[in-house]
Amino acid sequence: MLNALNVIAIEGKFKRSEIILKNTFLFKQKPTDISFDLDNDEYCILYYIDSTESWFLTNKNLIFPFVRLSVDLSSLVKVDFSNIKENPSHKLINKRLDLFMENKKINIMVEEKSWHLIYNIFKFIISKNF
């Protein structure tokens, strides 16, 4: 679980990036129109929402509400951007990151031009797991 200082650091990374985003938002409350349960001491930090995929980053989990999947942040061991490594010309248009757990990999969609910000946020989260 991320502590309050870790959450403040993530919020600072997001704000300092000064990237203008349309589908990625910073906040600490769950939107009322999205249905998923949070623990009493769990709150949203940021979220990405579009017509094909949405995810919510809380201080405990990465939640994909439309497919009812929740990933405990403490299980994350690596974040990568294989799409850019395979296609360096996609650096400006990349919209995917790879998240790794011990025996599993998931891809998350991110907003165009935001992959490096979200990558650094997940890298920070993973560093707090060790």
Domain residue extents for the chain = 4-127
Residue 116, Ramachandran bin (φ over 0: left; ψ between -120 and 50: alpha; else beta): alpha
d(CA 91, CA 115): 9
The H or E element spanning position 86 is helix 82-86
List the pLDDT tens digit at each of the 130 positions of the chain: 899 999 999 999 999 999 999 999 887 555 666 667 788 888 889 999 888 889 999 999 999 988 889 999 999 999 999 888 888 887 778 899 999 999 999 999 999 889 999 999 999 999 998 7
d(CA 96, CA 26): 19
4-127 folds as PH-domain like (2.30.29)
Which pTM value belongs to this model?
0.90
